[in-house]
């Protein structure tokens, strides 16, 4: 994808409009859904508790509801993630973003990572729900990011994703390019974490991202319009 070919409408369709804070209220999530409908984003990214609420808010739109599974630490255990994934889908989730077990990745227990990915992706495929695998790159070496991408290329989730936005760092264009170069056309790449300006967003798209997770969608679209006026 080339950022120079984007319109305001096609850019908005790359956004997972996000509110994942611990202090989320129904007013916050109503506002999020109203904004997503007005922009016609791809998705709202929310914690699982809010899945049914947001599904109702978005019922007259084509904006998806995306539940964050094992979020943000990925340390709740596989059985818990599988239960949460199924529960979110039952509540109306159209997309699942789950956090890998980062500790297992750091120990290079790649069989565990592959098994986790296969089981969650299988649930998503069974229910025709998009799957996204969150790596949390700020804690990983480049070789580990590449290895995770190689596993994803084999398992074939819909997306691999850079970050939760809750770690020590967010998305970088360098990491997006590494991930995309590794998976090729087999899997898409989502960039998330610290993307608050059109300049940063553009860099992620030009590096190979086809989905952008951000709570700054409105600001980015405003800057995009100003840059292309």
| The residue to which tokens 């990572």 are assigned | 113
pLDDT value for 3:
86
Candidates 161, 175, 180, 202; catalytic one: 161
161 in catalytic set:
yes
pLDDT value for 228:
92
CA–CA separation, 173 and 154 (whole Å): 23
Percent of the chain with pLDDT over 70: 100
Angle between helices 78-90 and 110-126 (to 10 degrees): 20
- Condensed to tens digits (0 to 9), the pLDDT of residues 163-214 reads 999 999 999 999 999 999 999 999 999 999 999 999 999 999 999 999 999 9
- Condensed to tens digits (0 to 9), the pLDDT of residues 133-165 reads 999 999 999 999 999 999 999 999 999 999 999
- Give the tokens for residue 67: 């539940």
Phi, psi of 51 (to 5 degrees): -60, -55
- Condensed to tens digits (0 to 9), the pLDDT of residues 80-96 reads 999 999 999 999 999 99
Please tell me whether the overall predicted TM-score, pTM, comes out greater than 0.95 for this model. Answer: yes
Buried b (16+ CB within 10 A) or exposed e, 43-79: bbbbbbebbebbbebbeeeebbbbbbbbbbebeeeee
> What is the mean predicted confidence (pLDDT) over 35-39?
98
- Condensed to tens digits (0 to 9), the pLDDT of residues 44-70 reads 999 999 999 999 999 999 999 999 999
Q: Where are the alpha helices (DSSP H) in the chain?
A: 8-12, 26-39, 51-57, 78-90, 102-106, 110-126, 142-155, 173-183, 198-207, 217-227
pLDDT value for 229:
84
Candidates 16, 94, 97, 175; catalytic one: 97
Q: What is the average pLDDT value for the chain, to the nearest integer?
A: 97
pLDDT value for 2:
81
Phi, psi of 5 (to 5 degrees): -95, 0
- Give the tokens for residue 29: 């999530």
């Amino acid at each position: 994808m080339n950022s120079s070919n984007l319109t305001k409408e096609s850019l908005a369709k790359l956004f997972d409009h996000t509110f994942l804070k611990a202090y989320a209220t129904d007013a916050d999530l109503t506002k999020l859904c109203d904004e997503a409908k007005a922009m016609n984003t791809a998705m709202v990214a929310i914690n699982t508790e809010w899945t049914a609420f947001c599904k109702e808010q978005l019922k007259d739109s084509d904006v998806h509801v995306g539940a964050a599974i094992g979020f943000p630490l990925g340390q709740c255990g596989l059985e818990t993630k599988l239960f949460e994934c199924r529960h979110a889908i039952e509540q109306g989730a159209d997309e699942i973003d789950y956090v890998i077990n980062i500790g297992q990745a750091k120990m290079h227990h790649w069989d565990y990572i592959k098994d986790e990915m296969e089981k969650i992706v299988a649930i998503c495929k069974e229910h025709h729900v998009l799957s996204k695998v969150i790596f949390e790159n700020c804690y990983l070496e480049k070789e580990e990011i590449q290895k995770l991408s190689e596993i994803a290329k084999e398992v074939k989730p819909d997306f691999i994703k850079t970050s939760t936005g809750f770690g020590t760092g967010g998305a970088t264009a360098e990491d997006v390019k590494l991930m995309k170069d590794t998976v090729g056309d087999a899997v898409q790449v989502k960039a998330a974490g610290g993307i608050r300006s059109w300049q940063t967003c553009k860099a992620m798209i030009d590096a190979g991202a086809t989905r952008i997770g951000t709570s700054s969608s409105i600001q980015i679209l405003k800057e995009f319009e100003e840059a292309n006026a």
